[in-house]
A and B are shown apart, each in its own frame.
Chain A
Amino acid sequence: MRMTDYQKLSKAELIARLRALEEKSRVARPAHAELADTRQQLDKLDQSALHDSEERLRAILQTAVEAIITIDERGIIESLNPAAERTFGYQPAEVIGRNVSMLMPSPDRERHDSYLENYVRTGHAKIIGIGREVLAQRKDGSVFPIDLAVSEVRLARRRLFTGFIRDISERKRAELRQKVLYATTRSLAEAATLAEAAPKILRSICEQTGWGLGEFWSVDEESRVLRYVGTGNMPGVEAPEFARLAANLTFACGVGLPGKSWASGKPLWVANLAGERDFLRAEAAVREQIHSAVTFPVLLGAEVHGVMVFFSREMRAPDAEMLDLFADIGSQIGQFIERKKAEEKLAELARTLAEKNKELETIVYVASHDLRSPLVNIQGFSNELALACNQVRVRLMEGDGAMRPPELRELLAQDIPEALEYIQAGVAKIDSLLAGFLRYSRLGRAALRIERLNMNSMIAGIVQAMEFQIKQAGAVLDVGNLPDVLGDATQINQVFSNLLENAVKYLDPKRPGAISIGGSLDAGRAIFVVRDNGIGIIPEHQDKVFEIFHRLNPAAGEGEGLGLTIAQRILERQNGKIWVESRLDQGTAFFVSLPAPPPTKGPA
């Protein structure tokens, strides 16, 4: 109803309308209140929801494991979460409002503003939206590797950058460890000796760990000192004076830094060499600007085989992780040494085997000749025999039994007995050769009983047994005072019996025989000499006399050419030696060397 319409109404009509309106208004009032309430309620709800979401966001930031830092377009830090505080070691008040470059080491620190400016200008991102590994710096100045991801937030009028930062020191350490151990393993695998591998290993450890200079010292088993093996360094960290000094140094156990590590079997970290009294190259260290050192043993079980030393121009604080890594390197090299030692033993064994094999080849060669020789006679003469017998038969059958005695007599008296004789001699020869072989091979199997032997009484016994032969040869025998030895009584007796027999056998009938037996001690060994003035041996045959079945003079009576071969074999098994000196027509001297017993008792 419009206003003009009311002008047409009467007063009564107006009152009635008012009443009606008043009534309507009365009814609507609670709805108004409800409306206001509802509106208020709604506002409240809105407020709380906003608050909640802020809370939630804050909670996320507060509890995030990753460090989260927000900066503006100019690089000014707007916020950081507790993880960031912990990671970098700052309180929020110390960083908020300051340039984020304070959290970076050089050269990023100086360049960060231009990185950011460049991005804002060109939109060309290097990190934003990508993420990469960079270095960060804590409040205490220490630098550590991080994985950094940056995201961009565009607001109405400005934009923010949020950095998500994860400390990857742990992972990097594991990688370093793997790299160093791998490089060490590879260098060891490629090298024949530790001395050859050492410079490579040292260099790679230097390069990977940042220690400038490394040295390897090996324990000299004999003189019980540490001897310099080699050095390796990071490119650009040469310390020639240091290395020169090292080459002439040795460390006794417990002396100097390497010696201390050797004595304790444990690593030793010296952060500042200036205060170290045990450091022998202090002056050179000053000149070469070396400040820190770490040394650790190369261990094989509990035994120290060498010591590694690393030097640094920077002052380096002890680092448990690095010490752990060094310990691993030490044991790895220890295992290499162990393996090399086993290989050397194997090679030694192979050499001995090769020698034995050569010896065996000689024996087989000689045997193949010497055993065939009598066989040629046996077969040859048995054929002669067959032929002769056939002839006898033919002659007997011929002309009605009219024999021709002279021819038959020749066959029966000469050809047939001769053949039989050679056949029998051949069989006997093979028999004696085979017996000799058996004796020789038995020597290698006989169990030895090594004990202290009184050589004076042993030689006296041998001389007594040979008294008749010596007397018959018309020889004079002179026996000196003889030192005791360690050996097997039966076999050593055999050696000297053989030597004395030979001396008697090869005397020169042109002059009266003179044989002497003497002995002396020399550096823990007893040296004996059996000397004769016999026929002697020409130089070309002096090696051959030890050959199996070799006989100097087959006319000189019995013997199968085994005496000296057996003597040599016996001595070989008892850590002994035999050699000969001889001059033709002047005589021969056989020398025997055997281990002497430890000097607990005086000589007998």
Chain B
Amino acid sequence: MNSTREVVILIAEDDAGHARLIEKNLTRAGLHNAIQRFPNGQTILDFLFRRGAGPHRENDTPYLILLDIRMPQVDGVEVLRQIKADPELRKIPTIMLTTTDDPREVERCHGIGCSSYMVKPVDYDKFAEAIKSLGLYISLVEVPEIGRHAGDGH
């Protein structure tokens, strides 16, 4: 299966530094997927639901979402809730990123249906490790291509 190359990683992260570190470490871990960054929850929702003037989601592209939980205005949990409430978008694997490991928060996100939950570690090695395993996860998981009929092939 060669579809991993095509997966576009969407990162919703209000902290530019965090987004940059994730990008760098994904690349260092050997993942060369296209990465699209959103500075807050609203812009990624606009992209996914094809609203507003910004870029919109493509029909034939498989996506994977990295969502920071704490963002101003629309936070990650709210984005996750809206994604999971949509019959099409709910198929996109979504990984929550957070700086805290508050068990209530973890439970809430799993309750809504996130695929994975990651605490951003302060320890750089651990962080890189986490990003690498995330890359591995992305390469292993079968990412559905939404907006296409099953068995369409290519």
User: Which A positions have Cβ atoms within 8 angstroms of B?
Assistant: 365, 368-369, 372-377, 379-384, 418, 422, 425-426, 538, 540-541, 550-554
Contacts and interface: CB of A to CB of B under 8 A. Distances in A.
Interface in B8-28: 14-15, 17-18, 20-21, 24
Given A374-B17, A384-B24, 17 more contacts: A369-B100, A372-B100, A373-B15, A375-B122, A376-B17, A376-B99, A376-B121, A376-B122, A377-B18, A380-B21, A380-B124, A380-B127, A381-B17, A382-B124, A422-B20, A541-B73, A554-B72
A362 to B, nearest CB: 12
B132 interface: no
Lowest 4 A-B CB distances belong to which pairs? Answer: A377-B17, A383-B124, A372-B99, A380-B21
A504 B23 CA distance: 37
Contacts of B70: 369
A365 B103 CA distance: 12
Interface residues of B, number: 22
Interface of B: 14-15, 17-18, 20-21, 24, 70, 72-73, 78, 98-100, 102, 120-124, 127-128
Contacts of A538: 73
A587 B113 CA distance: 36
A422 B17 CA distance: 6
A425 B15 CA distance: 11
Contacts of A375: 122
A320 B123 CA distance: 84
18 contacts: A365-B100, A369-B70, A369-B98, A369-B100, A375-B122, A376-B21, A376-B122, A377-B21, A379-B127, A380-B17, A380-B18, A381-B17, A382-B124, A384-B21, A422-B20, A426-B17, A540-B78, A553-B73
A377 B72 contact: no
Given A375-B122, A379-B123, A383-B124, A369 B17 contact: no
B72 A376 contact: no
A376 B18 contact: yes
Contacts of B15: 373, 376-377
Contacts of B124: 379-380, 382-383
A112 B20 CA distance: 110
A550 B24 CA distance: 29
A418 B20 CA distance: 10
Given A376-B122, A380-B17, A422-B20, A552 B73 contact: yes
Contacts of B14: 554
A373 B100 contact: no
A373 B71 CA distance: 12
B120 A376 contact: yes
Contacts of B100: 365, 368-369, 372
A540 B121 CA distance: 30
Contacts of B78: 540
A376 B102 contact: no
A564 to B, nearest CB: 14
Contacts of A368: 99-100
A553 B72 contact: yes
Contacts of B122: 372, 375-376, 379
B123 to A, nearest CB: 7
A365 B21 contact: no
Contacts of A373: 15, 18, 99
A221 B44 CA distance: 60
B20 A551 contact: no
Contacts of A550: 72
A381 B21 contact: yes
A446 to B, nearest CB: 29
Contacts of A552: 72-73
Nearest to A418: B20
A391 to B, nearest CB: 12
Given A372-B100, A384-B24, A551 B72 contact: yes
A540 B82 CA distance: 15
B143 to A, nearest CB: 27
Contacts of A422: 17, 20
A425 B99 CA distance: 18
Contacts of B98: 369
A377 B25 CA distance: 13
Nearest to B69: A369
A551 B14 CA distance: 12
A540 B72 CA distance: 12
A422 to B, nearest CB: 4
A550 B14 CA distance: 13
B130 to A, nearest CB: 11
B141 to A, nearest CB: 25
A375 B119 CA distance: 13
Contacts of A425: 17
Contacts of A372: 99-100, 120, 122
A56 to B, nearest CB: 96
B144 to A, nearest CB: 31
Nearest to A421: B17
B127 to A, nearest CB: 6
A390 to B, nearest CB: 13
A99 B124 CA distance: 112
A374 B15 CA distance: 9
Given A376-B122, A377-B18, A425-B17, A369 B99 contact: yes
Contacts of A379: 122-124, 127
A368 B101 CA distance: 10
Nearest to A550: B72
B32 to A, nearest CB: 17
A352 B148 CA distance: 57
Contacts of A418: 20
Nearest to A372: B99
Nearest to A538: B73
Contacts of B17: 374, 376-377, 380-381, 422, 425-426
